[in-house]
Amino acid sequence: MGPNGRIFRWISAVALLFILTAGSTPVTSLLTGETVAVIGTGRVGGALGPRFAKLGYVVVYGSRDPTQAKVKELVARTGEHASAASQRDAVKKADIVVLAVPWTAAEGVIKGVGDLDGKIIIDVTNAIRMSDDGHMERAVETSGAELIQSWAPGAALVKAFNVMSYLVMADPSTAGGPVTVPVVGDDREAKQKVREIIEAMGFESEDLGPLRNAQYLEGMAVLYMVPLLEGRMADSFEYYLRKNPERYGPSTSTEVRAAE
């Protein structure tokens, strides 16, 4: 991180301290000053980038051509700390990498962006394809997320945001009710951090276990597409996991029992 990044992070930390100590003022921003590289400037990149910027992240878009008009427009609407660069340069600066490219481009992007060790990758892709009879199906045996992790073994891969519309990512109110963002990954700390981001964006999040469960999240994407592919737009939906913590009474987990 350069001197500007350090100064921004310091200012952000002071601002966060101010907000936390300002009585009843709600914390609406994570104000981290960390850098998020959003790789891909399409519908998902264009929805999530501005949301990260609003949370206090420095956003750098990684684009095949950062001089494109659509990228300039996106940078402008993301805010004053946003910028665009090649995919490789964006990743170099980043603490968190959001992979928002078509599944078919994912391998080339991940293998071409340089060192990803120690970074969190948020994988929003779906390794799904159209079958010969016109339905969606999963395109790989395990999951796209596990393949991406194998191409970048030193990164902490968290799969999230893959089963919701980019319109809802941009504006949760368009869902017409609460939305759950299921999250899977093997690195607990990274997963927790991504859940905090999701919740700060106005969604619920649910930890659905290790990365090997990514195949089920990608299966949820197949189901999500059914009404859309059949042209039944009025039946399109967002996922929401309704919970009732009262149902089973106090927790009987081993941790609670050990503390008794």
Ligand X SMILES: NC(=O)c1ccc[n+]([C@@H]2O[C@H](COP(=O)([O-])OP(=O)(O)OC[C@H]3O[C@@H](n4cnc5c(N)ncnc54)[C@H](OP(=O)(O)O)[C@@H]3O)[C@@H](O)[C@H]2O)c1
The Cα 230–Cα 236 span in angstroms is: 10
State which residue, 52 or 103, has the beta carbon closest to ligand X.
103
Please, are residues 214 and 146 in contact by the beta-carbon 8 Å criterion?
A: yes
State which residue, 19 or 105, has the beta carbon closest to ligand X.
105
Residues in contact with ligand X, shown as a per-residue x/- string from 36 to 75 under the rule CB under 6 A? ----xxxxxx-----------------xx------x----
126 near ligand X, judged by CB under 6 A: yes
Residues in contact with ligand X, shown as a per-residue x/- string from 143 to 162 under the rule CB under 6 A? -------------------x
- Angstrom distances, CA of residue 143 to CA of 101, 128, 159, 211: 16, 9, 10, 9
78 near ligand X, judged by CB under 6 A: no
205 near ligand X, judged by CB under 6 A: no
Burial 237-250 (b: 16+ CB within 10 A, else e): ebbeeeeeeeeeee
Find the shortest distance in angstroms from Cβ 96 to ligand X: 16
Please, are residues 71 and 41 in contact by the beta-carbon 8 Å criterion?
A: yes
Using the rule CB under 6 A, give the single segment among 27-35, 118-126, 134-142, 238-246 that binds ligand X: 118-126
Residue nearest to ligand X (CB): 42
Give alpha helix (H) positions in 21-101. Answer: 43-54, 69-78, 87-93
DSSP string, 86-107: EHHHHHHH-SEEEE-S-HHHHH
State which residue, 42 or 210, has the beta carbon closest to ligand X.
42
Find the shortest distance in angstroms from Cβ 183 to ligand X: 14
The Cα 130–Cα 32 span in angstroms is: 40
Q: Which residues of this chain interact with ligand X, rule CB under 6 A? A: 40-45, 63-64, 71, 100-103, 105, 124-126, 162, 165-166
